Amino acid sequence: MNEAPFNVLLDHANRAQTQGQTKKAASLFYQAAQKTTTREKDYVEMLAGFRRVAVHEKRWRTALAIDWYRDDKRGQSDLIKSVPLVDQARTLQAWADSSGDPQGHQRAAALYTECGLLAHAAVCHERSANHREALNLWNRLAHPLTKGGTELYVAGLATFNVARSCIELKDERGAHDAVVNAVHALEEAADRYEQLGLREKAFDCYQVLIAIGQKTGTFEHTLEGYVNAIRILSQDQLRHYAIESYENCIVIAAKRGEHSAAATLAQQLAKYATKQNMPLIAAHAYQLKAEMWEGAAKAHEKRGAPAELMENALLAAVATRARLGQFARVGALYSALGKLDLEGARVSHYNRVVPRYNHQQDLAVKGAPLPDHLRLGAEFPDVWHVDLLEWEQAGSASAACADVILDRSSWSEITRRRALLARLTAQDVDAAGEAVDSDALLRLTQALGELELYCILSPLERLFQHRNAEIRSAVVETLSRFLYKRSFITLRRALDDASTSVQERACHSIESLRFPHAFDPLARIYREASDAKVRVAVVQALARIDTSEAAHWLLGVLEHDGQAERSAVVEALVRARGHQFAQIARGEIHNLSPHGQEAVRTIFTNRGERL
């Protein structure tokens, strides 16, 4: 980046433009555009000059991208016939999204279809409520994917969209068949992802199962999705997401009349909250459990179910109410048990118990659900659209950046400016085709790295496939800034790269990815690695993840692993300042072997802390 101030660059660019030096002006405007922290008014003024130069040089795609940023629809209208069909379609869709014009969505869909982007076209048809044409496109997409059998996740998403369209068209048979096929594909895909250690992709499969259950009213799919999603969230230490998901599933189960399932979920939530040292949520969960069992008993009575079913539900409620100290309520439940049409001895037993609770009172339950300020919005995104669109874009950097530029409501001005710069670089790469040089790809990698957004991972993954080791190494270095579990998919591949420099860079990036839900991929890399450098890099990262799971894992390394790994743990924990390891080590030190105890004492001594 040119170190000259923004105003100096802008003055020089305007002067060069006035003098007819368009190439020089374009270069200076681009350098000024890199000053992404400039005031919006000044930045937009600079982009107006940049656009004039781009138009003069007939760089229509550059001018259009600038107009996307500036939200200049008149300028876009002047350019739209001069750009490729895909840019025309994207522009028409942006107009229709902002105005709600169904005809605009139809025109965009027609252009997307002509480009072969069937998922993009189908989404536009859905937004214009043209579900018949959307169904045709989803079917065209789903059939070859289903027959291929290699992209199960994508096939499951496409088939679910077939089901969604059938539901809108009141085609019950078509919807049923599509749901069966989608669930089968997603379950198989989730199993494969979990076997490969790609739990974040398995999580996406479970999100779609939840959506399928909610869309079709099939509680079994909703429950399967939630149970597995909660399992992954819990393992990834995302406890607030996990608790919120538990609560959401309990509400859904209760509304569906699935009180037994809701009670079981409440029991699991109570155990999880207790383990996480969240007593208020645990108490609230136990109260929910009691309410759900009481609800189950009432539902059995209403259906005329056998008395034994009501008895089991009421006894489960008794045990939970007693745990909460609500003894008056326990007495009322025993009274209800004594009125059931059961064997005489059991009825007599329940009636004899009732007087014991006549003068008992209910203790106040100090419980509460997850507070609003801790709720993170466990509602799941429409991955059946988002992930299909990403798949169809096939790692196109220009397409991913365009999505960011046009989404004014989701991203800040600085983020959209960085996306604009990356889009311009990507367009140059696209224009060069097979003749693109390595320097251009390195510039693109650097520009994409400035964004640090999840949607940019796909273009980076595509760049990592390049035959040039220097480019692969640059991608791996860039991934150290992308704090997502998905980043580890590429880093694991980089560890086995033919280039030593790529492998070494991967170790450095792994050491930098120190966020709580990185524990699982980091631990998996450690288990799979035979190279001491890789294992040490993982240790350095995990030592800075302040969770109980990471702390227990590090103690395990001190106890069981080799000298190099133990030394790395000691060195890393001396520098780290997390509290979890210290707390857990104090409680576990007496269970360690002599060399484990010695290592722990060394850590505490060098940190200046008391053991």
Structural domain of 555: 399-607
Residue 377 has pLDDT above 70, yes or no: no
Report how many helices (DSSP H) and strands (DSSP E) the chain contains, helices first: 33, 0
Work out how many domains the chain is built from and give that number: 2
Is 283 contained in some domain?
A: yes
> Do 371 and 404 share a domain, yes or no?
no
Tokens of 468: 């040039």
Q: Tell me: the pLDDT tens digits for 238-252? A: 888 899 999 999 999
Long-range contacts of 419-425 (CB under 8 A, 24+ apart): 419/451, 420/33, 420/65, 420/66, 420/68, 420/69, 421/30, 421/33, 421/34, 421/36, 421/447, 421/450, 422/397, 422/447, 422/448, 422/450, 422/451, 423/65, 423/397, 423/398, 424/30, 424/62, 424/65, 425/397
pLDDT grade for 388, boundaries at 50, 70 and 90:
very high
> Do 306 and 417 share a domain, yes or no?
no
> Do 335 and 418 share a domain, yes or no?
no
> Do 491 and 579 share a domain, yes or no?
yes
Domain boundary among 350, 376, 393: 393
> Do 333 and 449 share a domain, yes or no?
no
**Mean pLDDT of the 308-329 span:** 94
Is 144 contained in some domain?
A: no
> Do 407 and 380 share a domain, yes or no?
no
CATH number at residue 349: 1.25.40
Is 138 contained in some domain?
A: no
Is 545 contained in some domain?
A: yes
Q: How far separated are the first and last CA of the chain, in Å rounded?
A: 50
Q: Residues of the chain with pLDDT > 70: what percent?
A: 99
Read off the pTM. 0.87
What's residue 285's pLDDT? 95
Q: Tell me: the pLDDT tens digits for 567-577? A: 999 999 998 87
> Do 496 and 433 share a domain, yes or no?
yes
CA 345 to chain centre: 56
> Do 261 and 378 share a domain, yes or no?
yes
What's residue 381's pLDDT? 74
CATH number at residue 413: 1.25.10.10
Q: Say how far apart CA 170 and CA 165 lie, in whole Å.
A: 9
What's residue 380's pLDDT? 64
Biggest alpha carbon–alpha carbon distance for the chain: 106
Average pLDDT of the chain, as a whole number = 93
Q: Tell me: the pLDDT tens digits for 458-513? A: 999 999 999 999 999 999 999 999 999 999 999 999 999 999 999 999 999 999 99
Is 4 contained in some domain?
A: no
CA dihedral over 370, 376, 382, 388, signed as positive or negative: negative
Is 321 contained in some domain?
A: yes
> Do 381 and 491 share a domain, yes or no?
no
> Do 371 and 477 share a domain, yes or no?
no
> Do 380 and 422 share a domain, yes or no?
no
Is 230 contained in some domain?
A: no
Tokens of 92: 């028409």
pLDDT grade for 2, boundaries at 50, 70 and 90:
low
> Do 403 and 384 share a domain, yes or no?
no
Residue 80 has pLDDT above 80, yes or no: yes
What size, in residues, is the chain? 611
Residue 378 has pLDDT above 60, yes or no: no
What's residue 325's pLDDT? 93
Domain boundary among 393, 427, 448: 393
Domain boundary among 340, 370, 393: 393
Is 404 contained in some domain?
A: yes
